[in-house]
Amino acid sequence: MKPPENDLELIKKLLESYDQKFIGEYLNRVSEGDWCRETINRWLKGKASPRLSHHEYEALRQLLPRPPAHHPNYEFDFVDLFAGIGGIRRGFEAAGGRCVFTSEWNMQAVRTYKANHYAEPDVHVFNDDIRKVTLSDREDASESEITANIHMMVPDHDVLLAGFPCQPFSIAGVSKKNALGQAHGFECKTQGTLFFDVARILEVKRPPAFLLENVKNLKSHDKGRTFKVITEALDELGYWVSDMDANGSDDPRIIDGRNFVPQHRERIVLVGFRRDLGVHKGFTLRNVRKHFPKKTPKLGDILDKDVENKYILTPKLWDYLFNYSIKHKAKGNGFGYGLVREDNVTRTLSARYYKDGSEILIDRGFNPAKDLHSPSNIKNRPRRLTPRECSRLMGYDNVGQSDFRIPVSDTQAYKQFGNSVVVPVFAAVAKLMKPVILKAKSGKQRKRPMRK
């Protein structure tokens, strides 16, 4: 018989993802108990001591994420920085990897992440603010203290994954050092940005490989200075970066999600390997096309047949978006809604989708030949995607699936999917990288990579 403290321990674990109301309602669905938010709240405060039946306990355990199919036979370890809801992780886990460290500061995203991703006991470490690792918010932190803290908090790993935010780099300090004839490296150039934290971990932990993801515009951000500083820093840290000679529309580092899902979503992917390991020869992201699916789903394949009325635009909002589009088209601007049918590819899902859904509106029979306010057009107003459909559009769920757990509100779910990545893109990149990762892992040297 399980001790009563196990019941409360399980409840506390689940409350990292789900709220008290959900757990109470869930328990009432699986048993004939009389559970509610107040009962669970009193239990947490030590004012009540209810017991879970064996059936209830096992039903709650089903809410915990399960280990990947290849557990415990992992082939490489990776860390997941600026993890969001774990899109990049899912790709590398599918390739046989084990996540040993996660860092994500947004607590709503953490709820979704923990609801879906297994944390191996005594192995996986969860961190919120990356600055707690690198001590980059402390001006008094010494180099030895920073190094020791990174080693203490971040487990050894074979691949570093990071979808860091795009920020401009200040050149004021660099210019001053140039004028004084003083040397400066990546620490000076990237100080105060979140890329600095990534670089610091690469410098101290020296994983054989990394993958960095960002918006396509990273290359042109701040007139190209941001991208230049990033790639120079990676080179200085002893890493070879794939496809650095590529430019223009044929750049293989820019990967469009429409090759995998019915969504136009371009992202830049930087892949690098430690130069001293000599494993990178012949690697190019041009070969990721070998892992494109033979057939991509159509938008209609991921849509639900029955959708709640709350996702249909109100007459007032539809009227506003329609006239807003006409107004800006008259001015020669491209602003407007994106009305799509079942055989179309959508625009990019953004984190602002929760506001009005304008970039992806599902057509329900709108007839542009008729007046906007005709009875049929009013009846057939377009609708937003549901969060579950967003999950499929981003590749978290496959066609016909609803397995990815969404423990947050619709507003938070839209923000999270809009900020995330197309999962199968990174599953394909992980497949491409895997042979090189394993080669690097088997021959990696624990010496400090030489800087150029």
CA distance 199 to 451: 13
Contact yes or no for 402/389 (Cβ under 8 A): no
> Tens digits of per-residue pLDDT, 60-74?
999 999 999 999 999
Instruction: Flag whether pLDDT at 210 surpasses 70.
Output: yes
Using alpha carbons, select from 269, 297, 254, 143 the residue that is nearest to residue 213. 269
pLDDT band at 32 (very low <50, low <70, confident <90, very high): confident
Active site (catalytic) residues: 166
CA distance 89 to 97: 9
Backbone angles phi, psi at 211, to 5 degrees: -135, 125
Choosing among 3.40.50.150, 3.30.420.40, 3.20.20.480, 3.40.630.40, the CATH entry for 76-296+423-443 is 3.40.50.150
Tokens 């599902």 -> residue: 362
Classify burial at 246, counting beta carbons within 10 Å of its beta carbon; exposed 0-12, middle 13-18, buried 19 or more: middle
Task: Report the mean per-residue pLDDT for the chain.
Answer: 90
- Give the model's pLDDT for residue 177: 41
CA 288, distance to chain mean position in Å, is: 20
CA 69, distance to chain mean position in Å, is: 21
- Give the model's pLDDT for residue 187: 52
CA distances (Å), origin 366, targets 31, 46, 380? 45, 57, 6
CA distance 322 to 122: 55
Instruction: Flag whether pLDDT at 265 surpasses 70.
Output: yes
Contact yes or no for 276/449 (Cβ under 8 A): yes
Other C-beta atoms closer than 10 Å to the C-beta of 68 total: 18
In sequence order, what are the residues at sequence separation of 6 or more whose Cβ sits closer than 8 angstroms to the Cβ of residue 243? 251, 252, 253, 284, 285, 286
> Span 275-300, mean pLDDT?
96
CA distance 154 to 160: 11
Q: Which amino acid is at 247?
A: N
Contact yes or no for 207/160 (Cβ under 8 A): yes
In sequence order, what are the residues at sequence separation of 6 or more whose Cβ sits closer than 8 angstroms to the Cβ of residue 360? 338, 340, 346, 347, 349, 353, 384, 385, 393
> Tens digits of per-residue pLDDT, 100-136?
999 999 999 999 999 999 999 999 999 999 999 999 9
CA distance 130 to 194: 8
CA distance 207 to 203: 9
> Tens digits of per-residue pLDDT, 82-105?
999 999 999 999 999 999 999 999
Contact yes or no for 338/313 (Cβ under 8 A): no
**Beta strand residue intervals within 122-251, DSSP E:** 125-127, 159-162, 209-215, 239-241
- Give the model's pLDDT for residue 335: 60
CATH number of 299-418: 3.90.120.30
- Give the model's pLDDT for residue 173: 40
CA distances (Å), origin 127, targets 99, 111, 132, 318? 13, 13, 8, 42
CA distance 274 to 237: 9
> Span 304-323, mean pLDDT?
95
- Give the model's pLDDT for residue 5: 65
Instruction: Flag whether pLDDT at 282 surpasses 90.
Output: yes
- Give the model's pLDDT for residue 183: 40
Q: Helix %, strand %, coil % for the chain, to 5?
A: 45, 10, 45
pLDDT band at 428 (very low <50, low <70, confident <90, very high): very high
Instruction: Flag whether pLDDT at 403 surpasses 60.
Output: yes
> Tens digits of per-residue pLDDT, 10-30?
999 999 999 999 999 999 999
In sequence order, what are the residues at sequence separation of 6 or more whose Cβ sits closer than 8 angstroms to the Cβ of residue 178? 184
Q: Say whether pTM exceeds 0.75.
A: yes
* 3-state SS class at 80: strand
> Tens digits of per-residue pLDDT, 322-346?
998 887 665 656 567 899 999 999 9
> Tens digits of per-residue pLDDT, 364-381?
999 999 999 999 999 999
Backbone angles phi, psi at 308, to 5 degrees: -60, 145
- Give the model's pLDDT for residue 224: 84
pLDDT band at 182 (very low <50, low <70, confident <90, very high): very low
CA distances (Å), origin 242, targets 147, 265, 365? 27, 21, 46
> Span 280-290, mean pLDDT?
97
> Tens digits of per-residue pLDDT, 125-178?
999 999 999 999 898 999 999 999 999 999 999 999 999 876 554 443 444 444
Backbone angles phi, psi at 183, to 5 degrees: -75, 150
Q: How many helices (H) and strands (E) does the chain have?
A: 19, 10
Using alpha carbons, select from 120, 136, 14, 110 the residue that is nearest to residue 67. 120
Question: Percent of the chain beyond pLDDT 70?
Answer: 89
Question: Percent of the chain beyond pLDDT 90?
Answer: 79
pLDDT band at 385 (very low <50, low <70, confident <90, very high): very high
Using alpha carbons, select from 48, 33, 40 the residue that is nearest to residue 11. 40
Contact yes or no for 242/283 (Cβ under 8 A): yes
